[in-house]
Amino acid sequence: MGIEPDNFADLIEPFSRRGVDLGLDRLQAALAELGNPERRFAAVQVAGTNGKGSICTLVHQALLAAGIRAGLYTSPHLVSWTERIRLGHDPIAAPCLRRHLEIAAPIAQRHQLTPFELVTAAAFLAFAAADLELVVLEVGLGGRLDATTCHPHRPVIGFASVGLDHAEFLGPDPATIAAEKAGVLQPGAVAISAPQSPEVAAVLSDSAAAVGAELRWVEPLDLNQWNLGLSGAVQAANGAVALGLLRALKERGWPVNDPAIRRGFAAARWPGRLQQLSWHGLPLLLDGAHNLPAALALRAELDAHPERHGLASGPRYWLLGMLANKQGPEIVAALLAPGDRAWIVPVPGHACWSLEALTAASPRLASQLHSAPSLEAGLAQAGSGLQRVVVAGSLYLVGRAATSEQAPVASPGTSDFD
């Protein structure tokens, strides 16, 4: 992935005490002091709960295939902050990101930005400096008050699947969460969504009508007719949203044609999602599955196509690490089939569900759950049967697993979104 080892702790960690503090005013004021770099490139924005990153990378790759100078901003990262910002085909170089963080940091201090807001400001500076034409922005959390929404003109907007996650910030039910995500809509914008649950669909439709945006519903792609570089049945819906966004951009004069879209879709890659690799010879399958909707989708995918993901029939071995603010018992219950075994491990730098807390909440799963003090210890125990181990429950854990043979991974910080 071309990732460099700088973890930028000296520049980002001083802002960590701010935690998650949603709002636009602070970053808008900071961007004004920085010369409003966000006004120097056009933007497409994608909101939702699960599938945002997949949609964004499909759109980004298609734009590049069409010859457009395109960038990509996503979160969280698996290994390095540089993954979040792509200038054309490649992640931003570490020295380049450091330079933009150093420019933004003094102003960020004055305006008391959060770490995500600081990195967003640095990303906007980088996109402007690279003279990009069009940038794909993945919403970090919610939408209405997310830092990416500081971009003033987002005429094409996508909605990934909306479900229950980050309830402590966004609300207790999908409809309330959908209202926060629909806050990205602007008058005159075209929004694209694949099918949603009835309560979410109603909120998106009402919100679009209220602000004067056009909401277009698209049906999932036939994956026998579309070659996507991303695995899983859920990509049919994600691909349909990406296709809708690209066709809306074409309507607005961007030179995007179907051959470029097909080339871009085939070239798309999204690490940490149904990714196969090995750890000291032990085959692994990595998938973040960090909330209940994602866990349900992962279980359905593995039940439907085990051989596609290198899994034998019969019981599966899991290695799970889940942040304490997630629905841990529900995620475990969704993932494990009868006969499966799971090793519960901590995610360094984060408050997590423990074996004791999980078994107290779900006594019926106690016989299937085990504990290990670390990722490496858990892999050693779970891998004793030499079958492929599924690592899930947190993108941060997946990031560590993806690099555990090469180098230690710096914690992304407790103030970010998983």
Q: Where is average pLDDT lowest: 103-117, 167-181, 269-283, 326-340?
A: 167-181
As a whole number, the mean pLDDT across the chain is: 92
Residue 76: which region, alpha, beta or left (left: phi > 0; alpha: psi -120 to 50)? beta
Distance between CA 364 and CA 222 in Å, rounded?
39
**3-class secondary structure, 187:** coil
Rounded to an integer, the average pLDDT of 352-368 is: 96
**Does residue 415 carry a pLDDT above 60?**
no
Name the helix (H) or strand (E) containing 43. strand 42-47
Once rounded to an integer, what is the mean pLDDT over residues 111-121? Answer: 96
Mean pLDDT in residue range 373-378: 95
Select from 206, 203, 235 the least CA-distant residue to 222: 235
Q: Which residues contact 121 (CB under 8 A, 6 or more apart)?
A: 27, 30, 31, 34, 104, 107, 108, 113
In the block, tokens 């902050």 appear at: 81
Under the banding of pLDDT at 50, 70 and 90, the label for residue 169 is: low
Domain positions in the chain: 9-267, 275-403
- pLDDT surpasses 70 at 250: yes
CATH class (in words) of the domain with range 9-267? alpha beta
Asked if the model's pLDDT at residue 338 lies above 90, the reply is yes
Assigned token pair, 323: 């942040």
User: Amino acid identity, residue 303?
Assistant: D
Checking if the pLDDT of 372 tops 70, the result is yes
* 204-207: Cβ within 8 A, 24+ apart: 204/159, 204/162, 204/178, 207/179, 207/182, 207/183
Decide the pairing of beta strands 134-138 and 70-73: parallel
Give yes or no for residue 317 having a pLDDT over 90: yes
**pLDDT for the residue 2:** 45
Q: How confident is the model at residue 413 (pLDDT cuts 50, 70, 90)?
A: very low
Residue 178 confidence class, pLDDT cut points 50, 70, 90? very high
Q: What is the pLDDT of residue 5?
A: 64
pLDDT in tens, 182-225: 999 999 999 999 999 999 999 999 999 999 999 999 999 999 99
411: confidence class by pLDDT, cuts 50, 70, 90:
very low
Q: What pLDDT score was predicted for residue 147?
A: 97
Instruction: Kindly report, residue by residue over 153-168, the tens digit of the pLDDT.
Output: 999 999 999 986 666 6
Output the pLDDT for position 407. 33
What global pTM score does this model have? 0.91
pLDDT over 80 (residue 409): no
Tell me what pLDDT residue 412 has: 41
Looking at residue 211, its amino acid is V
Mean of the pLDDT values across residues 319-332?
94
> What pLDDT shows up at residue 418?
59
Q: Which CATH superfamily is domain 275-403 in?
A: Mur ligase, C-terminal domain (3.90.190.20)
Cβ 228 vs Cβ 249: under 8 Å = no
The pLDDT of residue 3 is above 50: no
pLDDT, tens digit (0-9, with 9 covering 90-100), for 12-64: 998 987 667 888 999 999 999 999 999 999 999 999 999 999 999 999 999 99
Taking residues 115-134, report their average pLDDT. 98
Q: What is the rounded CA–CA span in Å between residue 309 and residue 290?
A: 19
